[in-house]
Structure 1
Amino acid sequence: MAAAAATNSPTAPAEPHVLVIPYPAQGHMIPLLDLTGLLASRDGLRLTVVATPATAPLLAPLLAAHHRVRALVLPFPSHPSLPAGVECAKDAPPTLFAALVVALAGLRAPLASWARDRSGTPDRVLAVLADHSCGWAQPLAAELGVPGIVFSPSGDELSEAVHRNFLWNLEASAFVSNTFRRLEERYLAAPLADLGMKRVHAVGPVAPAGPDAAGGRGGETTVSAGDLCAWLDRFTEDGSVVYMNFGSTAVLQPPHAAALADALERTGVPFVWAAGTTAPLPDGFEERVAAAGASGGRGRVIRGWAPQVAALRHRAVGWFVTHCGWNSVLEACAAGVAMLAWPITADQFVNARLLVDELGAAVPVSWGGLKAVPDADEVARMLDAAVRGNGGRERGDVVARAKELAAEAAAAVREGGDSWREVEELVRVLRNSASEPAAKTVSDS
């Protein structure tokens, strides 16, 4: 396969060179790109990020912001189960997850060839940092004789087709996770047996918290952050608006969307619903809520990619109806927004249990996923209790805990904080790989 690399500007050849391999799903790719930006902001590392033609545009903000980062664009490997042109999870149904994982492993050979061409030069690869869905990157690292490090943006369900891929990750020298110590303290306090007792670097939240967080992460936003925030400015009462988003992969079925829409119309709760491009909203719903209330409506539906971080950080947003995907969890925690948990699939149920049962920062809406449709009356009761304070002390405690998590997340990423120190340690590990290359081998079987 031919490869095309784009470099922003010349970089000092003495800096250790790290190969970054994302998995082509927005929930995986965005946090790894955020982590790459954090690493690039420290002195002493160069990073090359692997992409395919479909995912290359997502790298544009990162390449513009960091001269130490470049892109390596490779053709996507073909697979008999994948339709032509499908290169990322948003274009493939969940049933093709295994095929996407297996197909992506076809990048191993061209990456090995690309890296070997640089061996013995100042541009040689000295470490591989890869998403946990790219387990094949660990035997690649062993083949190159360099350390392999696994980045875990979330948990995933396993199937036999990808079982070997995940087992490869146990051969990594360390794990990096988009979390922070106070969020999962009981799990990070000691090495985990199911991760082979390897070191876990808790470096999150990795999403930027400043002006750059407004939009553009993961694709062009349908509505600009400025436009959405101007609309939210109309609501003078802090915390009076509900923000809703079920992610880019799991799509609500018509009965679920109808129950939520019905509850919103019954309660009259102000809301922003980031509904994606395919959410099956009831006929006339968008027009009715846009016309209700004062000028500009009391509800807003966003089709396509939404500036979620900007929405969550707006003072008018007090609750987040979420599928509990890990990126959304971290962004809500960093913003101090209480959550109404509605997990749909995969790791979302575990994430919701953490939020509800252990952290007390969320209230469950439904545990039924796509199999059970919650009653619209119950959803309406939950919304009304949360936004209008009719839930008593329990709801107040959840809001207070969400604010505490925001303070803890901010402290973690501040200079000297737990996550800040973990990033510094990860940079040290990657830089030391220049003088201490891995000597291990990994079986391909």
Structure 2
Amino acid sequence: MHHSTNNTHLLLYPCPGYGHVNPSLELTHHLLRRGLTITVIISATDLPLLDPLLSSYPSSLHKLLFHDPQINPSSTQPLISKILSTQQLFNPIVKWFKSQPSPPVAIISDFFLGWTTDLASHLGIQRVMFSTSGALGSSIFHALWRDIPEINDANTDKDESFLISFPEIPNSPEFPWWHLPPASRIYKKGDQYFESFRMTMLANIKSWGIVYNTFEGLEGVYIDHMKKQMGHNRVWAVGPLLPEEHGPMASARTGSSEVPPDDLLMWLDTKPDESVVYICFGSRATLSEGQMSVLIGALKLSKVGYIFSMKASGSSSIRSEFEEDLVAGRGFVVKGWAPQLAILKHRAVGSYLTHCGWNSMLEGIAAGVMTLAWPMGADQFANATLLVDELGSGKRVCEGGPEIVPDSNELARLLDESLSGDLPERVKVKELRHGAMKAVKEGTSRRDLDMFVKLVCELEDH
């Protein structure tokens, strides 16, 4: 017999940190709406992000609060250490599970938490991987960690420009060595630390299924590729997972800022359509002094209006560089948090200079704003390849770490050009925006989400 969905209990485990928790909570929101009961594993640091949802769904949403696990401070790879440290929660989660009158039938966890595949089989439930990267980025990541011993052996001289190709992935993506995530470049065969990280990454492919924050019209060939890799069709593309403007999640995303968001949006109201570039490099990337001065130089040379959102920790001396533009009303500098989605969706914003993090890319697409791509690490090179080379909805501005600096004149030209009416990239991104809206409202993403919920609820009966 079929239970109603609200008896179906899921455990959701996002990887700690802003860029991973938000899309996971967006997914949670969609599942709660469909009547499921959900417990979210969350750290004290990230709890404020969950609070608005908790107050909207007091009876069906629960939190499982853990302190951030101890991390070895002497580690050279803080990200890997942070990920491996989460395994300390294995036993506490088992203990919690056993105390539940109606325990979860599945665990949905971030792709960095591959070890939860073993946790789930220990508990006798299914594990679903949730990817905060796109399907292309995640395909590359999987192939990379699977073949890393061979890849490292092939590049004996550790040559920065050594090309690594992934012929089995559609469109045969190819990257120079230095575009790979830093952890894979220093991987040492037989080193316990790297091997256990590699094992947890490879465990992802043994998951019962994968949920992607993407949609078929954006990454159809890569979604199909992952179905082949998994050997079944339990791969669902349910994105873009973005908060509704007035929904509970919109308020969760506000942070501390020295500028009231309303001032910023009122400033945008005074600008002509598509006359402003929005510049933001995400919550983790930081520009080096050289990159910053080139960017400032390019803005001085260009004619665009701009909003520059920089980290709260940005130096105060930088403000003075913009003083003239700020006074003249041509630029607007925000330190700390900026209401990114509202800015991108504003009619006055026409292009977006970004590091190409996956969440940022989806927000740009959902707003129909052309991308100026400046990838710096992680999956960003793959995302830029997808956006620029395959979809044609953006242009490359620069790529790489702190030592790589674009030319100010060239950057100024690209900024100006990005707001000129008839670029094919601008036409293309408007098509993608339409596709994204349709996918979520009545198309493929909605279909996949419904199918996912149906299959998860059937687990209840086994």
Query: Structure 1 pair 283/62, CA: closer, same or farther in 2 (3 Å)?
Result: closer
Q: Which residue of 2 aligns with 1:322?
A: 354
Q: Which residue of 2 aligns with 1:344?
A: 376
- The one-character-per-residue Cα deviations of 1:387-418 (angstroms, maximum 9, x if unpaired) are 245xxx5xx2111111111100000001x311
Residue 46 of structure 1, CA deviation: 0.2
Alpha-carbon distance between aligned partners in 2 of 1:190 and 1:299, rounded to the nearest angstrom? 44
Alpha-carbon distance between aligned partners in 2 of 1:124 and 1:72, rounded to the nearest angstrom? 13
Residue 27 of structure 1, CA deviation: 1.4
Query: Structure 1 pair 327/198, CA: closer, same or farther in 2 (3 Å)?
Result: same
- 8 Å CA contact retained: 1:202, 1:422: yes
Query: Structure 1 pair 227/108, CA: closer, same or farther in 2 (3 Å)?
Result: farther
Q: What pairs up with 1:352-367 in 2 under 5 angstroms?
A: 352-367=384-399
Q: Which residue of 1 aligns with 2:174?
A: none
More helix by share: 2
- The one-character-per-residue Cα deviations of 1:250-274 (angstroms, maximum 9, x if unpaired) are 1111111111111112224211111
Task: Say whether residues 1:149 and 2:111 are aligned partners.
Answer: no
- 8 Å CA contact retained: 1:257, 1:279: no
- 8 Å CA contact retained: 2:18, 2:46: no
- Which deviates more from structure 2 when the two are superposed, residues 149-158 or residues 353-362? 149-158
- 8 Å CA contact retained: 1:215, 1:221: no
Q: Which of 89, 102, 124 is 2:84 aligned to?
A: 102
Q: Which residue of 1 aligns with 2:430?
A: 403
Residue 194 of structure 1, CA deviation: 4.2
Q: Which residue of 2 aligns with 1:267?
A: 302
Q: What pairs up with 1:362-377 in 2 under 5 angstroms?
A: 362-377=394-409
- Give the TM-score normalised by structure 2: 0.82
- The one-character-per-residue Cα deviations of 1:27-66 (angstroms, maximum 9, x if unpaired) are 11110110010111112x1000001111111111221233
- 8 Å CA contact retained: 2:51, 2:252: no
Q: What pairs up with 1:212-251 in 2 under 5 angstroms?
A: 212=247, 215-222=250-257, 223-235=259-271, 237-251=272-286
Residue 215 of structure 1, CA deviation: 4.6
Alpha-carbon distance between aligned partners in 2 of 1:196 and 1:227, rounded to the nearest angstrom? 52
Q: Which residue of 2 aligns with 1:72?
A: 64
Q: Which residue of 2 aligns with 1:284?
A: 320
Which runs of no fewer than 5 residues in structure 1 stay unpaired?
A: 1-11, 84-93, 437-445
Task: Say whether residues 1:430 and 2:462 are aligned partners.
Answer: no
- 8 Å CA contact retained: 2:107, 2:125: yes
- Which deviates more from structure 2 when the two are superposed, residues 343-352 or residues 426-435? 426-435
Q: Which residue of 1 aligns with 2:104?
A: 125
- 8 Å CA contact retained: 2:90, 2:119: yes
Matching residue's letter, 1:184: E
- 8 Å CA contact retained: 1:322, 1:341: yes
- 8 Å CA contact retained: 1:242, 1:270: yes
Matching residue's letter, 1:275: M
- 8 Å CA contact retained: 1:215, 1:309: no
Q: Which residue of 2 aligns with 1:306?
A: 338
Alpha-carbon distance between aligned partners in 1 of 2:14 and 2:226, rounded to the nearest angstrom? 25
Q: Secondary structure at the match of 1:32?
A: helix
Q: Which residue of 1 aligns with 2:440?
A: 413
Matching residue's letter, 1:374: P
Give the root-mean-square deviation of aligned CA atoms: 2.2
Residue 276 of structure 1, CA deviation: 1.3
Q: What pairs up with 1:41-56 in 2 under 5 angstroms?
A: 41-43=33-35, 45-56=36-47
Query: Structure 1 pair 61/116, CA: closer, same or farther in 2 (3 Å)?
Result: same
Q: Which residue of 2 aligns with 1:177?
A: 212
Residue 308 of structure 1, CA deviation: 0.6
Query: Structure 1 pair 190/349, CA: closer, same or farther in 2 (3 Å)?
Result: closer
Query: Structure 1 pair 365/273, CA: closer, same or farther in 2 (3 Å)?
Result: same
Alpha-carbon distance between aligned partners in 1 of 2:18 and 2:250, rounded to the nearest angstrom? 14
- 8 Å CA contact retained: 1:323, 1:343: yes
Q: Which of 165, 175, 183 is 2:200 aligned to?
A: 165
Q: What pairs up with 1:373-384 in 2 under 5 angstroms?
A: 373-384=405-416
Q: Which of 25, 28, 33 is 1:36 aligned to?
A: 28
Residue 99 of structure 1, CA deviation: 0.8
Query: Structure 1 pair 419/338, CA: closer, same or farther in 2 (3 Å)?
Result: same
For these two proteins, the number of residue pairs brought into alignment is 400
Residue 71 of structure 1, CA deviation: 1.1
Q: Secondary structure at the match of 1:408?
A: helix
Alpha-carbon distance between aligned partners in 2 of 1:270 and 1:82, rounded to the nearest angstrom? 45
Percent of residue pairs bearing the same amino acid type: 37
Query: Structure 1 pair 104/82, CA: closer, same or farther in 2 (3 Å)?
Result: farther
Q: Secondary structure at the match of 1:48?
A: strand
Which runs of no fewer than 5 residues in structure 2 stay unpaired?
A: 142-180, 185-193
Query: Structure 1 pair 96/341, CA: closer, same or farther in 2 (3 Å)?
Result: same
Alpha-carbon distance between aligned partners in 1 of 2:26 and 2:219, rounded to the nearest angstrom? 20
Q: Which of 50, 61, 71 is 1:59 aligned to?
A: 50
- 8 Å CA contact retained: 1:225, 1:310: no
Alpha-carbon distance between aligned partners in 2 of 1:260 and 1:65, rounded to the nearest angstrom? 42
Q: Which residue of 2 aligns with 1:332?
A: 364
Residue 234 of structure 1, CA deviation: 0.9
Alpha-carbon distance between aligned partners in 1 of 2:227 and 2:452, rounded to the nearest angstrom? 18
